[in-house]
Amino acid sequence: MADSTTRDLTLGKILRGLIARVAVGTVLLAVLVISRIRGRSVRANRPRVGTEEGGVRVLTLGSFHNPNWPRAHILPIASCPNVREVIVVCDEAIFECEGVRTVCPPSWMVRSAGRSLARIMCFVITVARDRPDVLVGYHIMPNAVLCLAGARLFGGVAVYQMTGGPVQIIGGGYGSEGALIRRLGWRSRVLQSLMFHVVGQFDAVVVRGTQARQYLAARQLSQRAVVITGSVDTERFRPGGERADFDVVTVGRLVPCKRPELFVRIVAGLAKRRPSTQAAIVGDGPLLEPLRREAEELGVGERVHFFGKVDDVPGVLRMCRVFVLTSENEGMSIAMLEAMSAGLVPVVPDVGELAEVALAGGAGVLIDPSDTDATVGIIAAILDDSEGLSARARSARAVAESQVSVSAVAERWHQLLAQLS
């Protein structure tokens, strides 16, 4: 009976994977055809971007899990002197800013068509009505490909935000996030090839660091790539005073790809070396309760403080010393950038573009989160060296101010939009 159930589950997973492959492949092929057929005529007849009085109208399409995410990515675009309006198409309005208009599908549409399809329908209606100059999609599937199709059908410039790095393309994106992509199950060279061809159709690809740009360069796509990180409101995320209630903190969604269970094990190891260790976990997700149980089982239930989803993330960070990230993959972690701005020492894995910022100025350290003993040793050494900790904290803050402040990132967007025009 158990063998039969296991076999049925395996067959079901394979079937879902095959259906997902057909669906993703069909969408990619359709968008590729649209872009190649419409691309030349649209480019030839399209007026210069932003020639209307007031500058460029930018539409962005994405799923935003908390207000800090759109603050990091939308605020610098809205701050550009050559942008007159940013239209954000998303599931729900969680961010307000001057010059930003949020468009969400009405509740009846969500009930009738489902969340994802309702957002797509809302996107199509908005593009057809407002005719934005620039369409920016976060993640290749489905947001970026929809922006590419919208730009080619209705006129405009298409920009792909490769927020998670090359993992969104490798093997057809099977290792990245997204309801449909997650069902692929295993690598697909066909889908990967299709994605490369689709990426080549964008007018610009925004990546988070040099590794992603080099990845595209190896595939003759670097001429379209530009490095622009997310931004941080460095005034809001500022260092606190002398008070530090927590030695280590992690911030993020509590989902498998973030591997938060490794953080709990690291805290358990630290507690053995430093009995006074206190830790904070900021974020919510399906792994919250399992993490609570694991903390109890490891004897650190009273040392790990679960804040859940909070609005005042800067306030929590100001009570902490070291920021620890355990993700399996990242592009450029906004949580890490915010922690550095707040004067925390970043201790992060060597994935995505994290090292490029974390190691700048000697601020942070790279770890292998799966090697608990080695990671515990690194963090303990940082905490035990008060002078070194303070120096790293000052470096982290300086890096954030110079590289990822809203004004610094807005200038890069200003230059890109000027080039696209």
Report if residue 367 sits inside a domain.
Answer: yes
pTM over 0.75: yes
Structure token pair of residue 135: 């369409």
CA-closest candidate to residue 141, choices 167, 121, 122, 118? 167
Half-sphere exposure of 26 (CA within 13 A, CB side): 7
CB–CB of 389/248 below 8 Å? no
Pair (41, 92) in one structural domain: yes
Q: What was the pLDDT predicted at 44?
A: 47
Q: What was the pLDDT predicted at 243?
A: 66
Number of domains into which the chain is organized: 2
Q: Which residues pair with 279 in a beta bridge?
A: 248, 304
Q: What was the pLDDT predicted at 411?
A: 95
Q: Spell out the per-residue pLDDT of the chain, length 421, in tens.
A: 445 555 545 777 778 878 878 888 888 999 999 998 886 555 545 544 544 556 899 999 988 777 778 888 999 999 999 999 999 999 888 778 888 999 999 999 999 988 889 999 999 999 999 999 999 999 888 899 999 999 999 989 999 998 888 888 888 777 666 666 667 777 888 888 999 999 999 999 999 888 888 888 888 876 788 999 999 999 999 998 656 789 999 999 999 989 999 999 999 999 999 999 999 999 999 999 999 999 999 999 999 999 998 989 999 999 999 999 999 888 889 999 999 999 999 999 999 889 999 999 999 999 999 999 999 999 999 999 999 999 999 999 999 999 999 999 999 999 999 988 7
Q: What was the pLDDT predicted at 391?
A: 96
Pair (180, 270) in one structural domain: no
Pair (410, 393) in one structural domain: no
Could you give the CA distance from residue 406 to residue 394 in angstroms, rounded to a whole number? 19
Report if residue 3 sits inside a domain.
Answer: no
Pair (157, 116) in one structural domain: yes
Pair (172, 265) in one structural domain: no
Report if residue 388 sits inside a domain.
Answer: yes
Report if residue 7 sits inside a domain.
Answer: no
Which CATH number covers residue 121?
A: 3.40.50.2000
Can you tell me which residue has the tokens 């200038």? 411
Pair (213, 294) in one structural domain: no
Could you give the CA distance from residue 100 to residue 144 in angstroms, rounded to a whole number? 20
Report if residue 174 sits inside a domain.
Answer: yes
Pair (22, 133) in one structural domain: yes
Report if residue 187 sits inside a domain.
Answer: yes
Q: Which domain holds residue 377?
A: 246-403
